[in-house]
Amino acid sequence: MDFRIEKDTMGEVKVPQDKLWGAQTQRSFENFRIGDVKMPSEIISAFAYLKKACAVVNGKSGRITEEKAALVAKVCNEILDNKLSENFPLSVFQTGSGTQSNMNVNEVIANRANQLSDKKLIHPNDDVNACQSSNDTFPTAMNVAAVCTIEHKLFPALDKLKNAFVLLENNNPDVIKIGRTHLQDATPVKFSQEVSGWRGLLENSRDMIEMSLKKLRKIAIGGTAVGTGLNAPEGFDEKVCEELTALLGTEFLPDENKFRALTGKEAFVFSHGALKALASNLMKIANDIRWLSSGPRCGLGELNIPENEPGSSIMPGKVNPTQCEAVTMVAVQVMGNDTTIGIAASQGNFELNVFMPVCAYNFIQSLNLLSDAMNSFCDNCVSGITVNEDKMKEYLDRSLMLVTCLTPVIGYDKAAEAAKFAHKNGITLKDAVLSLGLLSEEEFDKAVKPEKMV
């Protein structure tokens, strides 16, 4: 492999000739060979937007020349177009401030800009990182990546799944089935009402995540090293936020307390708590569907789900609720990520949190897993669900909990006696009521109407 020599304040370093990074990136690459988890591309893209916004502001203020600002912006566009993606090799498990990833971006932008200008024009620290510190740029990139991934990936997937449930609900307006509580028979419910519960879980989760965006929109840029804003001109934070808002089409605001912004990650804890709530709701929905579709002959069998692949390597003809299982595994992973993020956020020692890369990684992973899982669940399961009305009617007719509507007529104690008598003797509720002489057949038929119980 061909190498070139790059220099930093610690001396010379060999860097692969075909890579755009510099000495500090190379040192991190060599010193942190920990796992195979790399800095998420969403963080790199957020950095590109941030560096572009900062360059525009610095160019307008005269902090750097317009030529330099234009070159930085041009390279940032190349990063956003995925033309330079092989130049961001660093592990998540690096310095807790994310300094090395900030410098990775700075070095790539500077070296590529110098290639484009065919001269040594731009310095990674003096120009690309002007008026900035890793301590305010990395938390800013975290927030930008979180907001954009929620808005552009998570919400579309969530809305798509919700709309699939709306369609299932609307297509089955009058199907009545037996309800279940404590895994035991309960009073009747419309299937559409049951589905509306699933839909409502998604809608409520979306509302909570939307609420959490308010805090994520407040960013640390302008705080520089410890929150004092040293080396950043007054108003720099506001102008960068204006540029970011214009670039991304979604609002970002300066955090009014930079000292809190550098050390506190409670906005991520709060927002990921809403993601965990979504994961919990998806777990419940997926489990409901796999229980209701269990069978085909020895389970509940009220729902038919798409048969996507063979379910067993030994049992021919077996088909399993694999999409439901995938969703529930994602839910478990997100719940684990929530613990990691909570602990990471607690490590704000003095003026800086030093667990930011792992916090950012887990948050972005949760967003991507939830988004992908909801899309897969929608496309490969929910959109193909059909109702087994015969099975639902069979369970409804056999249920003893229809006795609940008799309580106002014969009282709770006699209704309980009838239900227990029917169960003990293996007869219908109607036969039990008639055998016990509690009502006439006409009185029973008038009182027990499932369609009036929903």
> Do 371 and 423 reside in the same domain of the chain?
no
Does residue 451 contact residue 187 with C-beta atoms inside 8 Å? no
> Do 107 and 157 reside in the same domain of the chain?
no
Does residue 280 contact residue 331 with C-beta atoms inside 8 Å? yes
CATH of the domain at 15: 1.10.275.10
Quick check: is 323 in a domain? Answer: yes
Say what the pTM is: 0.96
Quick check: is 253 in a domain? Answer: no
Q: Which of 28, 117, 123, 182 is catalytic?
A: 182
CATH of the domain at 314: 1.20.200.10
pLDDT on residue 131: 98
Mean pLDDT of 243-250: 98
Of 48-62, 67-81, 154-168, 308-322, minimum mean pLDDT range: 308-322
Mean pLDDT of 35-47: 98
Does residue 352 contact residue 226 with C-beta atoms inside 8 Å? yes
Give the count of alpha carbons within 13 A of 263, CB side only. 12
Mean pLDDT of 11-16: 97
Distance (Å, whole) CA 40 – CA 21: 17
Q: Percent of the chain scored above 90 by pLDDT?
A: 100
The boundaries of the domain holding residue 83 are 3-130
Please indicate whether residue 101 is annotated as part of the active site: no
Q: Which of 28, 152, 293, 312 is catalytic?
A: 312
Number of domains in the chain: 3
> Do 419 and 312 reside in the same domain of the chain?
no
Give the count of alpha carbons within 13 A of 450, CB side only. 23
Distance (Å, whole) CA 210 – CA 188: 34
pLDDT on residue 1: 80
- Length of the chain as a residue count: 454
Q: What is the largest CA-CA distance in the chain?
A: 101
pLDDT tens by residue, 359-411: 999 999 999 999 999 999 999 999 999 999 999 999 999 999 999 999 999 99
> Do 91 and 22 reside in the same domain of the chain?
yes
Burial class (CB in 10 A: 0-12, 13-18, 19+), 10: exposed
> Do 374 and 444 reside in the same domain of the chain?
no
Quick check: is 210 in a domain? Answer: yes
388, 413, 440 - which closes a domain: 388
Strands 218-219 and 253-254: parallel
Alpha-carbon 428 to chain mean position: 48
Quick check: is 238 in a domain? Answer: no
* 40 DSSP 8-state letter: P
Quick check: is 70 in a domain? Answer: yes
Mean pLDDT of 178-183: 97
Quick check: is 221 in a domain? Answer: no
Distance (Å, whole) CA 260 – CA 255: 9
pLDDT on residue 418: 95
Quick check: is 136 in a domain? Answer: no
In order of 89, 100, 121, 134, the CA distances from 12 in angstroms are: 20, 17, 20, 22
pLDDT grade for 238, boundaries at 50, 70 and 90: very high
> Do 46 and 124 reside in the same domain of the chain?
yes
pLDDT on residue 168: 98
pLDDT grade for 204, boundaries at 50, 70 and 90: very high
> Do 188 and 287 reside in the same domain of the chain?
yes
Quick check: is 225 in a domain? Answer: no
pLDDT on residue 306: 96
pLDDT tens by residue, 326-372: 999 999 999 999 999 999 999 989 999 999 999 999 999 999 999 99
Does residue 82 contact residue 23 with C-beta atoms inside 8 Å? no
Give me the residue label for tokens 């552009």.
152
Please indicate whether residue 182 is annotated as part of the active site: yes
pLDDT tens by residue, 57-72: 999 999 999 999 999 9
Rounded to 5°, angle at Cα 113 from 46 and 145: 0
Distance (Å, whole) CA 211 – CA 205: 10
Distance (Å, whole) CA 261 – CA 141: 12
Residues 6+ apart with CB under 8 A from 161: 202, 374, 375, 377, 378, 382
In order of 256, 370, 374, the CA distances from 283 in angstroms are: 38, 11, 11
- The answer, yes or no, to whether residue 314 has pLDDT greater than 90, is yes
Mean pLDDT of 86-94: 98
Residues 6+ apart with CB under 8 A from 169: 192, 195, 196, 199
DSSP for 63-111 reads SS-HHHHHHHHHHHHHHHTTSSGGG---BSSS-TT-HHHHHHHHHHHHH
Average pLDDT, the chain: 97
> Do 300 and 194 reside in the same domain of the chain?
yes
Q: Hey, what are 274's tokens?
A: 């809403």
> Do 173 and 210 reside in the same domain of the chain?
yes
Burial class (CB in 10 A: 0-12, 13-18, 19+), 314: exposed
